[in-house]
Amino acid sequence: MGMVAAVSRSGDYTFTKPNQEAITLVAGLGVEGDVHQGVTVKHRSRVRRDPTQPNLRQVHLMHAELHDELNASGFEVGPGRLGENVTTRGVDLLGLPTGTRLRLGPDAVVEVTGLRNPCPQIDAFQDGLLKQVVGRDEDGNVVRRAGIMSVVLVGGVVRPGDEIRVELPAEPHSALVPV
């Protein structure tokens, strides 16, 4: 069982998102007051390609264990600094299959849609950071470690310290791919 380490949102297109005492998830839309809230895609590069695409990136989750690892490597990161809405601890986010449901706190439920595909903006934040969160495995396959994306199925307030309960989808499981 995991827990919510921090929650963040920004009403503007900023790379980092300020931490909050609580965020409200709205079913079908995302984080209330966040620039990426909406039924259709809100990420600027995706809007330019096709503004009618469904928003599969309503809520960005990242594991605090990645922050720990990056800080030990000399970077300065923390909750919300890499653009995530929910920072988790104790959940292997990257190992979850597509369609996993995460119960965040007493009410909110999000469904995992895929991996975050970090862009070069991450190097503008801290030089060399992109290589730390996107690499290759021994077979040459791209490995993305910058968190996961989800959509809100059931709304509710989420706070630091809230419990996270993982509900896996029926098998066969599908590995996460970038969305």
Question: Residue 108: is it exposed, middle or buried by C-beta count within 10 angstroms (0-12/13-18/19+)?
Answer: buried
pTM: 0.96
Per DSSP bridges, beta strands 59-63 and 86-89 are parallel
Q: What is the DSSP letter of 96?
A: P
Walk me through the domains of the chain, giving residue ranges and CATH numbers.
2-167 (2.40.33.20)
Q: How many CB atoms lie within 10 A of CB 85?
A: 30
Per-residue pLDDT at 140 exceeds 80? yes
pLDDT attached to residue 51: 86
Question: How many whole angstroms separate alpha carbon 168 and alpha carbon 99?
Answer: 7
**Could you read off the pLDDT of 146-179 as tens digits, one per residue?**
999 999 999 999 999 999 999 999 999 999 999 9
**Could you read off the pLDDT of 23-50 as tens digits, one per residue?**
999 999 999 999 999 999 887 778 888 8
Q: How much of the chain, in percent, has pLDDT values that exceed 70?
A: 100
